[in-house]
Amino acid sequence: MTLDATTRESNMRASIIKYFVDTIKGNHGIEVIFDKNLIKPDTSSKVLDQWVSVNIGQTSKGSLSEVMLTIYCLQRKDKEGYKLAQLVDKVITYLMVDADTSSVDDIKRIPLYKNFPTRTDWTEIGQFMVQGIIGSQDMLGPDGTKFRILTVTLQWPAKV
């Protein structure tokens, strides 16, 4: 028995990675990483002052599947936290419905793609719905990096 494409972990992960790379890195040139090393991220010897770390967390599979994302917005060299606030605003922009568009239910949708081995040909097979965003207070890492954590719940209909 094979899993339906809407239920596959690989499709969910590839779609989330594609979305954040296309939006945050593609539109703003801000580095996006997908590991848990926040203070010294492995970015091929680049020195970063600003980056976003997206961690794919707990999942629940069913006819309405769910995944929790923990998104760290990180900023160095920011005495008053203004640059961090701007970064958080950029990330949240891609998780909320645009104020300028008319939406029937005001729920942000993110494409769910079928993951092809080459990752060059993407076919949309569904959509994630952003169901909640919880933001932490500003925090300070041991090296002076300021960061804020966004906990995001995504849900999508899946065939089980």
Which CATH number characterizes residue 77's domain?
A: 3.30.2000.20
pLDDT for 29-60, tens place per residue?
999 999 776 655 655 556 789 999 999 999 99
Asked whether residue 151 is assigned to any structural domain, the reply reads yes
pTM value is 0.90
Is residue 112 situated within a structural domain?
yes
Which domain does 141 fall in, by range? Answer: 9-157
Cα-based distances in Å from 134 to 26, 86, 92, 100:
24, 17, 10, 23
69 is a domain residue: yes
Could you tell me if residue 13 is inside a domain?
Answer: yes
Is residue 34 in a domain?
A: yes
68 in a structural domain: yes
Please indicate, yes or no, if residue 140 is contained in any of the structural domains: yes
> How many Cβ atoms sit within 10 Å of the Cβ of residue 60?
10
Residue range 56-96, pLDDT digits in tens: 999 999 999 999 999 999 999 999 999 999 999 999 999 99
